[in-house]
Structure 1
Amino acid sequence: MKRPGLSFAPVMLALIVLLSAPAAQAGSRLLATGGVTQIEGAAGGGLSPWGVLTGTASGDEYAATASVSQARVDDYSLGVIGIAGNIQDRLELSLARQRLDLDTLGGRLEQDVFGAKLRLYGDPLYDIWGTWSLGVQHKRMVDGELAKALGAKDTAGTDLYLATSKLWFAAVGGRNLLTNLTLRSTRANQGGLLGFGGDQKTSRSLVVEGSLGLMLAPDWVVGVEYRQKPDNLGVAAENDWRDLYVAHFFNKHVSLTGAWLDLGDIAGLADQQGGYLSLQVAL
């Protein structure tokens, strides 16, 4: 039976309310220090959450972001809308709806992702160990019939992750370099869009995600990302994800990210490669 999901109308209403809140305004942290919005709604790169929190709010400020993202690979299209809030650079709360269109196979998969990220320690610019954050992403499929048919054990699950981010000044040719490492505990198949656990493995896996970003200018970043994946389903082998990205921060309110994606095999269809665009608006 199809489970009621998060419709687009409530998401857009929440987005409007969040962005119109009087306390939500561009913070005092430097441009680009909140990253962009990743595909599960958290602050980070496109594929992986980072240790930073969304927006540019500092210790006594608030921030809010809204994002729209679209990825198109050979046989699939992924659309994501999300909102996130930053409470005094200590706590991030996020909400995202993912919609995966099966362009070749036919059909659609949808998932809601509810996220929270707590900054534990540090600052990415000025602390020698960077900033460290602990995050959680609870994921719930809207309709899990296909995932069950492929062997998934559950249609809802929760990822836990620890992320650390550090900006290294004048590290490469006089330009700043951002590094991020994320350790994730997960049972998710294809990020949860094909359910959780499977006939090959039902328990959690500890996977590694990494990002590098070179700041060509204060408002331009180019980089790479890597996201390791568990392989739980016998009939749908899963590969790690990679991307090459470029992000432009027009100002503290608007950023645009483009990427080339290599997602490997998805649900039996091989070598899924293509493009990605994400627009983020922040207050």
Structure 2
Amino acid sequence: MISGKWASRLMAILSVLASGQTAQAEALFDRGKLLATGGVSQVEGAAGAGLSTWAVISGYGTDRGVGINAHHTSAVLDDFTFHGSGVSVGLFDRLEISYTRQSFDTGKTGGALGLGNGFTFSQDIVGAKVRLIGDAVYDQDRWLPQIAAGIQYKRAGKAPILAAVGAGGNDGVDFYLAATKLLLSQSVLLSATARMTKANHFGLLGFGSAAGADYRLQWEFSAVYLISRRLVAGVDYRTKPDNLAFAREGDAKAIYVAWFPSKHLSLTLAGVDLGPIALQGRQQGVYASIQAGF
């Protein structure tokens, strides 16, 4: 049941959108948070870095405002190509809701695997994240990081193919707890996330195994250095479960730079190593992402 405070806030949003009044809209979409502190859209659509999820809430809305972002990501790997597009909404720096559609093109490798050239796996992800305690920006004098809990429902396509490669199912739910600490005086951001998941290759190759693999605890880590107000550089490390008998799955890594020319736009470029995928060895390549919002 929605509390009275949240009900009134949601009614205020609907009223502003219905009225079309510029002054009210500017107050609602206040963009009051510091540049870059909302992160970018990570691979599953939540606010964070390229691979890891942070505890921050998407967008630049303060505790009195709303932020909306749209993003598109592409990664060109040794034997595969990945694309992801989606939207996220941050409500009053407390709640984040996101949706992402992913596709994974096997190219010529699909033919070698008996799937056909250009065979594409796909996945839809709906997520929600809530900030529990702490404030990454304003708690500089406290050791406490910003902490958030999240959930992501993932549903992959091509269920018969996923069953054939040994996946236990084509949908699943991830649960995670993220902690993010921004050290402004050192120009450093650190983040760690614990994720309970059954997802194979983020869910694109299904969930669990035919043997019925249960949830596994996985970890995501980020370290970011703020080169300037508009430019950051960082590294991500993310562990992944290894459920499928036919092919080993390894951890994912990335090194990246992100540019924030304004609060309406960010561009990310990364080198990634997603580990072995579908008997094709380590998949390394380039990852690029654009995020636009208000």
Relative to the length of structure 1, the TM-score reads 0.89
**Cα distance between partner residues in 1 of 2:193 and 2:286:** 23
Query: Where does the alignment leave 5 or more consecutive residues of structure 2 unmatched?
Result: 1-16, 111-116
CA contact (8 A) 1:200 1:233 kept: no
Q: 1:25, CA displacement in angstroms?
A: 3.0
**Cα distance between partner residues in 2 of 1:100 and 1:145:** 16
| TM alignment of 1:87-98, pairs within 5 A | 87-98=91-102
Quote the residue 1:212 is aligned against: 223
Is 1:120 the counterpart of 2:124? The answer is no
Is 1:144 the counterpart of 2:159? The answer is yes
Measured against aligned partners, the alpha-carbon deviations of 1:75-117 in whole angstroms (never above 9, x if no partner) come to 1101000100011011000000000000222300000000000
Is 1:135 the counterpart of 2:135? The answer is no
* The one of 52, 57, 77 aligned to 2:56: 52
**Percent identical residues:** 41
Query: Where does the alignment leave 5 or more consecutive residues of structure 1 unmatched?
Result: 1-16
Give the counterpart letter for 1:80 in structure 2: G
Quote the residue 2:194 is aligned against: 183
Quote the residue 1:62 is aligned against: 66
Measured against aligned partners, the alpha-carbon deviations of 1:99-149 in whole angstroms (never above 9, x if no partner) come to 000022230000000000000011112322121100000000122222111
**Cα distance between partner residues in 1 of 2:44 and 2:280:** 23
Give the counterpart letter for 1:214 in structure 2: Y
Give the counterpart letter for 2:158 in structure 1: D
Q: 1:170, CA displacement in angstroms?
A: 2.9
**Counterpart of 1:30 in 2: which secondary structure?**
coil
Measured against aligned partners, the alpha-carbon deviations of 1:2-30 in whole angstroms (never above 9, x if no partner) come to xxxxxxxxxxxxxxx9xx99476351010
**Cα distance between partner residues in 1 of 2:152 and 2:37:** 22
**Cα distance between partner residues in 2 of 1:121 and 1:219:** 27
**After the TM superposition, which parts of structure 1 deviate over 6 Å for at least 4 consecutive aligned residues?**
none
Q: 1:201, CA displacement in angstroms?
A: 5.6
Is 1:110 the counterpart of 2:84? The answer is no
**Counterpart of 1:180 in 2: which secondary structure?**
strand
CA contact (8 A) 1:26 1:253 kept: no
* The one of 227, 231, 240 aligned to 2:242: 231
CA contact (8 A) 2:30 2:62 kept: no
**Cα distance between partner residues in 1 of 2:30 and 2:289:** 19
**Cα distance between partner residues in 2 of 1:215 and 1:227:** 21
Quote the residue 2:264 is aligned against: 253
Q: Which has the larger radius of gyration?
A: 2
